[in-house]
């Protein structure tokens, strides 16, 4: 097997898989580590099979993982259809094993209430229940790299002590009312979010 040219490259590479409504993106960073975003697949193609054979074997390990981080945008069936690739009887033997999982908030102590997942509103097709249970098990064991807070609480300086903060669209419009870019997005009917440290 010939080693791909990107292995020795100092550039990041991104694979975006066209799998229909769902999503699956794989990012190879300049440090030759992997980040996987969402776990969708189509009826005739699983990105995980392609990644396992053509990408992951060439990545460097990060904390004993070839995939340094997994990110799941939300637990709808088309975004977690292939989530089972994360779970094997001995999960650390999975080529997709990662110690850092990023998922949206749940209704747990400390969550930002307006952004918490309402599990009752997640309506997935019959037959996808096990994928949702896998998602929930990953969710419970994840390490939180980001902190979500409401902008109004930033008036208290101690809240600025740690990490990255996410500002929701209506608040961005309040903070930057004179910003031409924000005005244009508003005029086009779009919202903008800001993530900063």
> CA 63, CA 85: separation in Å to the nearest integer?
19
Instruction: Say which residues have a Cβ less than 8 Å from residue 88's Cβ, sequence separation at least 6.
Output: 94
Among 35-49, 53-67, 85-99, 121-135, whose mean pLDDT is lowest? 85-99
Cα angle 132, 83, 17 (rounded to 5 degrees) comes to: 125
Tokens of 37: 């975003």
* Region of poorest pLDDT, from 23-32, 74-83, 98-107: 98-107
Give the global pTM: 0.64
Average pLDDT for 153-174 = 44
- For residue 169, pLDDT beyond 60: no
Whether 64 shows a pLDDT value over 50: the answer reads yes
Residue 33 has pLDDT above 80, yes or no: yes
What residue ranges do the domains of the chain occupy? 5-140, 151-196
For the chain, percent of residues with pLDDT exceeding 90: 15
pLDDT for 57 beyond 80: yes
What pLDDT score was predicted for residue 187?
60
Q: Is the pLDDT of residue 39 over 70?
A: yes
> Is the pLDDT at 55 greater than 80, yes or no?
yes
Q: Average pLDDT in the 48-72 region?
A: 89
Which residue's entry shows tokens 């550039």? Answer: 11
User: Confidence class of residue 177 from pLDDT cuts 50, 70 and 90?
Assistant: low
How far is the CA of 106 from the CAs of 23, 128, 129, 140, 186, in angstroms? 21, 20, 18, 9, 29
pLDDT digits (tens, 9 = 90+) for 85-103: 877 656 667 788 887 777 7
What are 64's two structure tokens?
A: 């004993």
- Residue 62 is classified by DSSP as B
Instruction: Classify residue 28 by burial, with Cβ atoms within 10 Å: 0-12, 13-18, 19+.
Output: buried
Mean pLDDT, residues 93-121: 65
User: What pLDDT is stored for residue 153 in this prediction?
Assistant: 46
């Amino acid at each position: 097997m010939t080693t791909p040219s990107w292995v020795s490259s100092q550039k990041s590479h991104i694979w975006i898989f066209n799998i229909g409504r769902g999503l699956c993106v794989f990012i190879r960073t300049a440090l030759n580590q992997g980040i996987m975003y969402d776990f969708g697949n189509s009826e005739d193609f699983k990105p995980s099979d392609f990644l396992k054979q053509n990408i992951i074997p060439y990545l460097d390990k990060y904390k004993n993982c070839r995939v340094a981080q997994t990110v799941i945008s939300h637990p709808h069936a088309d975004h977690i259809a292939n989530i089972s690739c994360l779970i094997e009887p001995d999960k650390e033997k999975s080529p997709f094993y990662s110690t850092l999982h990023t998922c949206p908030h749940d209704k747990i102590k400390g969550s930002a209430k307006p952004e918490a997942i309402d599990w009752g509103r997640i309506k997935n097709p019959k037959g996808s229940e096990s994928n949702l249970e896998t998602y929930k098990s990953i969710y419970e064991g994840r390490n939180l790299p980001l902190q979500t807070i409401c902008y109004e609480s930033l008036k208290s300086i101690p809240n600025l002590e740690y990490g990255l903060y996410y500002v929701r669209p209506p608040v961005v419009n309040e903070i930057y009312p004179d910003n031409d870019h924000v005005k244009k997005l508003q005029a086009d009917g779009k919202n903008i979010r800001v993530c900063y440290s």
